Amino acid sequence: MISIQPVVFFFRLGLTSFKHVGVFPEQAVNWEYIYENVKRIGKEVEKPKVLNLFAYTGGSSLAAKAAGADITHLDSIKQVVSWARENMELSKLDDIRWLVEDAMTYVKREVKRGKDTMELF
């Protein structure tokens, strides 16, 4: 459990083959920053759009979603995207767009489609 006042996130922890546990707790200060800034932007934009690239198990996505953003969560590893979805459910959040894809491939395609507007990356 990691708390960003007034929000609490839950993460499933487990040792991976490359010795990660599924969360980098030192990132909590960044999640707080994301949460606060999405809240601030949300005063000017109805539902801020956030693109989380290299998103791992979802700490930044959870923070932005809890603050009211429309999230696209992207990572190239299917297992960590599934893990992030589980963390979303444990945290009682929903409605995050999950993508398993190479970040550069995705961004280049979205720019070509003219979908290059997000409030936060």
Superfamily of domain 2-112: Vaccinia Virus protein VP39 (3.40.50.150)
Cα atoms found within 13 Å of the Cα of residue 51, Cβ hemisphere only: 12
Label residue 103 by pLDDT band (50, 70, 90): very high
Label residue 9 by pLDDT band (50, 70, 90): confident
Residues 53 and 76: their CA atoms lie apart, in Å, by 9
Mean pLDDT of 38-48: 92
What's the angle, vertex CA 13, arms to CA 12 and CA 15, rounded to 5? 140
pLDDT of 62 higher than 90: yes
pLDDT of 2 higher than 70: no
Looking at per-residue pLDDT, the higher value among 50 and 8 belongs to 50
Which residues are registered as beta bridge partners of 4? 7
pLDDT of 106 higher than 90: yes
Map out the domains of the chain as residue ranges: 2-112
**Closest by alpha carbon to 74, among 27, 36, 24, 108?**
108
